[in-house]
């Protein structure tokens, strides 16, 4: 014990305490030296900023909204930071509520828009932790709860990346830059604030955020930020699966799915989100599965660009299809019939994935229906084609079938048939079914009659 204390004391003398770093001074960029205007800010965000300012509190726009404005992008939302506590913010705005446990924030609603308001965060020293929190933090470095308030300087150092640590002051309309944020934004560099290994241990999701910003913005990770990620990727196993599910949606349902997939693979992170899919990608059929996933990514991005709806169910159905097919083949080799084998493989794939990124039942049930329809789409005789088209998941299953053909997993033709069938009128549809289905049905009846006749081997000649 004494040796460990001596070692810790030596590190503090040599490098200083990571809990009490030297606070930076702001580089103030006046209004006439930056392009951000209040005209670009939503009315709801301005109402919150002016409401806090009028009540005597500091009020700043912060983070991604400023980054996006400097990059010429329209922000998806606006975040506000203040020296007011969550309780003070809550009392100030009627339509507000405090949310969060690890770090409390306030959601303030104006019309249909919600503005997220947070309080300046402080550096949490070890003596601020209770025994259980201290023990967990010492063992893993993971921050469990963080509701200590501080100054804007401390808050800037607690931000994850420099590109997200810029502040816009409603009092003087100036930008406050503590960590060379504007320079990194202009250079297209993603840089962690502080020691990368410590920051990743505090919150492993920061590795996913680094990949997401690189994909979204087309920025490059600086060397110190990128280097520890492959080695520290297993820390994602500490993150609750429900939180990782939300992170997956941010990665793949924000209009840059292909780039996100490629970043995750390059940084070694994908294997800890979808381990069985990663294993399939490394198999002999890996090129087929990669084409399938990339085709789905492109399809998702295209739909988002056209303002068409997308669903996590389709995304996850594609990611887990290689896992399902691999397990299905194993069950079939064991002699299990096709339909039960498919059902059993689907259950296995979903259960395995739930240990890494949870899949809510409202999505997993849709995925099962899409998977179940894949073999049924080839059975179009009689009224089956019309019955299939009435199925609520037909369109999703049809789109999935097209992707499988595009990737080369199955032979082309069936998807083109369904494309023509949906566009045809009723007489044409009947003719299509008769052209494809009648010979097969008649041949099947003859074979069944011969088997029932008891003719033995002669009838099979």
**Residue numbers annotated as active site:** 77, 79, 160
CA 75 to chain centre: 18
* DSSP labels, 77-144: --EEEESS-HHHHHHH-SSEEEE-SSS-EEEEEETTEEEEEEEPB----GGGS-HHHHHHHHHH----
Encoding tokens for residue 391?
Answer: 């199925």
Encoding tokens for residue 415?
Answer: 């998807």
Q: What are phi and psi of 58, to 5 degrees?
A: -75, 145
DSSP classification of residue 410 = S
CA-CA distance, 220 to 263, in Å (whole number)? 11
* DSSP labels, 229-284: HHHHGGGGGGS-HHHHHHHHHHHHSSS-HHHHHHHHHHHT-GGGTSHHHHHHHTST
Using CA atoms of 239, 243, 245, 246 in order, give the dihedral in degrees to the nearest 10.
-140
Residue with token string 């032979």: 411
Encoding tokens for residue 399?
Answer: 């789109």
State the burial class of residue 364 (Cβ atoms within 10 Å of its Cβ: 0-12, 13-18, 19+).
buried
**CA angle at 247 for the pair 241 and 252, rounded to the nearest 5°:** 125
Encoding tokens for residue 397?
Answer: 């299953």
CA-CA distance, 53 to 56, in Å (whole number)? 5
């Amino acid at each position: 014990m004494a040796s460990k204390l001596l070692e810790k004391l030596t590190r503090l003398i040599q490098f200083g305490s990571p809990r009490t770093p030297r606070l930076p001074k702001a580089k103030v960029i006046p209004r006439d030296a930056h392009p951000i205007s209040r005209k670009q800010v939503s009315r709801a965000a301005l109402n919150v900023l002016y409401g806090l300012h009028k009540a005597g509190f500091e009020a700043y726009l912060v983070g991604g909204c400023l980054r996006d404005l400097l990059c010429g992008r329209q922000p998806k939302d606006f975040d506000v930071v203040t020296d007011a506590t969550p309780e003070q913010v809550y009392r100030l705005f009627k339509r507000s509520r405090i949310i969060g446990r690890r770090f409390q924030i306030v959601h303030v609603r104006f019309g249909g828009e919600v503005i997220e308001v947070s309080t300046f965060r402080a550096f949490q020293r070890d003596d601020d932790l209770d025994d259980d929190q201290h023990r967990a933090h010492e063992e893993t470095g993971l921050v469990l709860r963080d509701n200590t308030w501080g100054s804007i300087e401390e808050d800037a150092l607690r931000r994850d990346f420099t590109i997200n640590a810029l502040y816009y002051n409603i009092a003087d309309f100036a930008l406050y830059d503590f960590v060379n944020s504007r320079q990194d934004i202009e250079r297209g560099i993603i840089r962690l604030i502080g020691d990368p290994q410590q920051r990743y241990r505090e919150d492993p999701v920061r590795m996913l955020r680094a990949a997401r910003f690189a994909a979204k913005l087309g920025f490059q990770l600086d060397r110190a930020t990128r280097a520890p990620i492959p080695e520290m990727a297993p820390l994602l196993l500490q993150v609750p699966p429900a939180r990782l599910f939300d992170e997956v949606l941010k990665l793949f349902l924000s209009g840059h799915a292909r780039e996100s997939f490629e970043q995750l693979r390059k940084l070694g992170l994908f294997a800890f989100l979808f381990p069985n899919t990663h294993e399939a990608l490394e198999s002999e059929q890996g090129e087929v599965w990669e084409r399938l996933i990339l085709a789905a990514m492109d399809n998702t991005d295209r739909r988002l660009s056209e303002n068409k709806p997308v669903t996590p169910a389709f995304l996850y159905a594609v990611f887990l299809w290689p896992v399902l097919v691999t397990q299905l083949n194993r069950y079939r080799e064991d002699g299990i019939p096709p339909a039960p084998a498919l059902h059993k493989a689907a259950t296995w794939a979903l259960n395995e994935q739930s240990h890494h990124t949870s899949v809510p039942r409202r999505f997993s049930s849709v995925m099962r229906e899409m998977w179940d329809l894949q073999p049924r789409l080839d059975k179009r005789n009689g009224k089956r084609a019309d019955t299939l088209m009435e199925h609520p998941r037909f369109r999703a299953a049809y789109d999935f079938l097209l992707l499988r053909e595009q990737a080369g997993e199955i032979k082309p033709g069936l998807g083109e048939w369904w494309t023509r069938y949906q566009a045809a009128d009723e007489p044409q549809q009947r003719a299509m079914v008769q052209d494809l289905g009648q010979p097969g049905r008649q041949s099947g009846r003859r074979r069944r009659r011969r088997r029932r006749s008891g003719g033995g081997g002669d009838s099979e000649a």
